[in-house]
Structure 1
Amino acid sequence: MTAALVAGLLAGYGIAVPVGAVGTYLVSLSARTSLRTGVCAALGVATADGLYALAATLGGTALADALRPVLGPLRWVCVLVLLGLALWGAAGALRAYRGHRLATRAASAPPGPARAFWGLLGITLLNPTTVVYFAALVLGAQASGPAGPWEQGVFVLAAFAASASWQVLLAGGGALLGRALTGHRGRLVTALVASGVMTVLAVRMAMAPG
């Protein structure tokens, strides 16, 4: 249970920490509107991450049952996928930093709390990297040994809680930290931290027995 909790927290922070276009918009939205609107938007992002974690957990379990004879080699494929995502995120952040490209801010009128929640939920669900990320984690964990329903539930809830805590932090600090976190250097640092978390997850998976 503790392992599932730690894995879920690491997974949630690994996907949530990079401040890209969604994070930039979340910070600016909170700074331009209210904390309530920002928190609702943050929960929309976290809900999408939680739904993808749940889908990957359920689908990953079914797929793991079907592919159990090759789960050993599959774990190494998942390790490579996670390392690839980490390298891709770090390389993208470095390119953006060197090219001084900033995410564009929405010019439309700021939404209310409900619209902010559903809008950020929809935007985050359109990100294919999220489902690939969680699917790789879940399949890799299944290769080390099957997880029970309690462990799966703890993993999903921990991933949601980790994502929610980071997104709410972005929203709450929008007025004070927005410029630092969404500037060139801030986005580079957060992306590199997230890539480091993904690398740690990959190393733990590679060193797991079985």
Structure 2
Amino acid sequence: MDDVLISGALAGFGIAMPVGAVTVMIVTLSAQTSLRTGLAGAMGTATADGLYALIAALTGAALAGLLRPVAGPMRWTAAVVLLALAAKGLADAVRRSLDPGSVRQVEEKRPFSVYLQFLGLTVLNPLTIVYFSALVLALRNDDWPPMGGLMFVVAAFAASASWQALLAVGGALVGRALTSDKGRLGTALVGNGVIIFLAARLLLGG
């Protein structure tokens, strides 16, 4: 049992820890709005990781093989979504810098929609299902208990959720440290600039 839980936790951290566009978005979101909003995005991403881990545990390489032919269109879709979100983030930051009173309004209406947004964006990454499928195939053996697959999924989700939550907390701390209007605008410009760069890499197939 311990081996399965450890394997699941390592798998969850392995997919969550590499810095990518979603990582930057979670940190930037918390810095620009609130910890609650950042955590909503973090849990959306962790939920997608958990769902893909579940699918991988149930189907192994079969679904990964089905997704490979559409990996290109999914990558392009993800890139377009990232560019749109970055553009909106920059526009919101500029608006907040001109009207600081609008920040609270943005915070209060976002969490659930942000959760769905990050869930959908993370699901668009076909590499996640390939990653989990490969891990399940490599790790699964006759020593796994009857509920080994479920235990693997729970451990993977918990690991991903804890890392994404840590990113949100870090972003909130940065946001509190940069309380001036110029500080908030600066973090938005840098964070969304990185997102645009990463989206461009997706479009170029890098």
Superposition RMSD in Å: 2.4
Q: CA deviation at 1:30?
A: 0.7
Unaligned runs of 5+ in 2: 63-85, 93-105, 176-186, 192-206
Partner SS, residue 7 of structure 1: helix
Is 1:37 equivalent to 2:37 in the alignment?
yes
Q: Residue 31 of structure 2 contacts residue 174 of structure 2 at CA under 8 Å; is this kept in 1?
A: no
Indicate which of 134, 143, 155 corresponds to 2:152: 155
* Residues 1-210 of structure 1 aligned to structure 2 (within 5 Å): 1-60=1-60, 106-107=89-90, 109=92, 112-142=110-140, 144-145=141-142, 147-176=144-173
CA distance in 2, matches of 1:112, 1:175: 15
Q: Residue 8 of structure 2 contacts residue 156 of structure 2 at CA under 8 Å; is this kept in 1?
A: yes
Distance of aligned partners of 1:116 and 1:108 in 2 relative to their CA distance in 1, 3 Å threshold: farther
* Percentage of pairs with the same residue: 54
CA distance in 2, matches of 1:37, 1:124: 17
What's the CA shift string for 1:12-67, capped at 9, x where partnerless?
00000012111101110011111111111100000000000000001029x6xxxx
What's the CA shift string for 1:137-182, capped at 9, x where partnerless?
111123x436344211111000000000000000011043587xx8
Q: CA deviation at 1:107?
A: 2.7
Q: Residue 35 of structure 2 contacts residue 172 of structure 2 at CA under 8 Å; is this kept in 1?
A: no
CA distance in 1, matches of 2:147, 2:111: 33
Q: Residue 26 of structure 2 contacts residue 38 of structure 2 at CA under 8 Å; is this kept in 1?
A: yes
- Give me the TM-score of the superposition, normalised by structure 1: 0.60
CA distance in 2, matches of 1:8, 1:171: 22
Distance of aligned partners of 1:146 and 1:2 in 2 relative to their CA distance in 1, 3 Å threshold: closer
CA distance in 2, matches of 1:58, 1:108: 42
Which residue type is aligned with residue 152 of structure 1? Answer: G
What's the CA shift string for 1:84-112, capped at 9, x where partnerless?
xxxxxxxxxxxxxxxxxxxx573354660
CA distance in 1, matches of 2:27, 2:117: 15
Unaligned runs of 5+ in 1: 64-103, 184-210
- Give me the TM-score of the superposition, normalised by structure 2: 0.62
CA distance in 1, matches of 2:35, 2:127: 28
CA distance in 2, matches of 1:156, 1:134: 10
CA distance in 2, matches of 1:41, 1:149: 33
